[in-house]
Amino acid sequence: MPSFDMIALGCGGGPSEHNLSSYLLKPCDAHWSEGILALEAGSGIGALDKLLREQPTLFESDQIQLNHGESSLCTAMEVYSWIRCFLVSHAHLDHISGLAFTASTVGGRRTVFGLRRCLEIVESLLSGQLWPRLASWNADDDLPLTLQDLTGRSRLANDAKYHSVFPGVSVRTMPLSHGRVDEQRTYHSSAFFVSDDSSGREFLFFGDVEPDSVATEPHNRNVWRAAASKIPNTLDTVFIECSYPSGRTDDMLYGHLTPEHLVAELTALAAEVVDARTRTRQPNSSQEWDSDQEPVHTRKRRRRETAGSSSRGALAGLKVYVIHCKDDLQGVYAEPIHRVIASQVRTLVEEKDFGVEIISVEQGMKILILYRIQRRSAEQFGP
């Protein structure tokens, strides 16, 4: 019964520096001290120290037994030292600042995985000018961080697009649009399909992302298409940002989502799920078949044929964890902003009747992603 444990070390979208994107992950059947995969590297030691003061037993399976038999709780430094590798979606500071501030302080060497253009920015940040030189593409260099490009890499024979990043864990990386560098160029982020090798079960994690309807270079539909045939049996958990509350205009998105846009994206996912299920019911179809390789005209024709199909209940069994909500510094809302935004998404999506569950992520939340026979579910425990 393989599964993942995740702790949201930081889940906000800034500007508060104590709660920036940082998620600690491990296989459920291992101890935290046996190795952690960090998804994003925003908040680091400071946030961890604060969390451990509030929740001293957060990593309780790893209490250290002292010689005289008493137990001592883990320190932030110890927990951070268990991180073996980082997986970073893009190189904005709220997703990588932990690399700079902590990499040289905690001993040992770690791998940073990501798309090449993201890691090139990390390399330039940690090159000895803005910050000491800490990162290199060459593992033989004696530096704390080794950069590893996930672009076009393959290690698993059964799916050339997945890359092993951690014992028993592989990742497929897909590019996303996240606003613009300038008038000509799109700024890229990434989505990760994080897979348990032994079971083939996975979850989907989005870095910062803008709506396809706004992007000059839309990529989200490709991600939804890749996920659709797996929902809910082998993929029932999605982490995705919703940085702003309802009412923000498109010219003020800066590469992010609002509840309205997130629901439009989930509507696109529901359509892809209906499409994938229609396809698997057709004669000569195969679940092994790679939908990414399907000719566009075939896909469009089938979509016309299934245009009247209802997407009611299409996302039943799917849990969507809302992350990266930007702080409400003006105090406009009585409730914490992440709950306000998740509630707005929930209200809008309930009208669609997709059957999807919307969950607000809070800092310090422990998320248990369970795989059960026939059915998988994720459960969460509040901080």
Q: Which residues bind Zn ion (CB under 5 A)?
A: 92, 94, 208
- Residue 177 near residue 189 (C-beta atoms within 8 A): yes
CB 278, min distance to Zn ion, A: 35
The end-to-end CA distance of the chain, in Å, is 25
- Residues 6+ away with beta carbon under 8 Å from 241: 13, 206, 207, 208, 209, 256, 257, 322, 323, 324, 325
CB 274, min distance to Zn ion, A: 31
For the beta carbon of residue 313, count every other beta carbon within 10 angstroms. Answer: 14
Q: Between residues 96 and 169, which has the closer beta carbon with respect to Zn ion?
A: 96
Q: Between residues 94 and 212, which has the closer beta carbon with respect to Zn ion?
A: 94
CB 168, min distance to Zn ion, A: 28
CB 15, min distance to Zn ion, A: 10
Q: Between residues 41 and 356, which has the closer beta carbon with respect to Zn ion?
A: 41
CB 93, min distance to Zn ion, A: 8
Q: Between residues 145 and 325, which has the closer beta carbon with respect to Zn ion?
A: 325
CB 254, min distance to Zn ion, A: 9
Q: What is the DSSP string of 98-134?
A: HHHHHHTTS-S-EEEEE-HHHHHHHHHHTSSSSS---
- Residue 78 near residue 104 (C-beta atoms within 8 A): no
Name residue 321's beta-bridge partners. 239, 359
Q: Between residues 202 and 208, which has the closer beta carbon with respect to Zn ion?
A: 208
Q: Between residues 78 and 265, which has the closer beta carbon with respect to Zn ion?
A: 265
Q: Between residues 20 and 74, which has the closer beta carbon with respect to Zn ion?
A: 20
Q: Which amino acid is residue 41, in one-letter code?
A: A
CB 86, min distance to Zn ion, A: 15
Instruction: Enter the tokens of residue 338.
Output: 């992440």
How far apart (Å, rounded) are the C-alpha atoms in residues 317 and 147? 36
Torsion angle of alpha carbons 112, 217, 314, 160, nearest 10°? -50
- Residues 6+ away with beta carbon under 8 Å from 223: 174, 176, 191, 204, 206
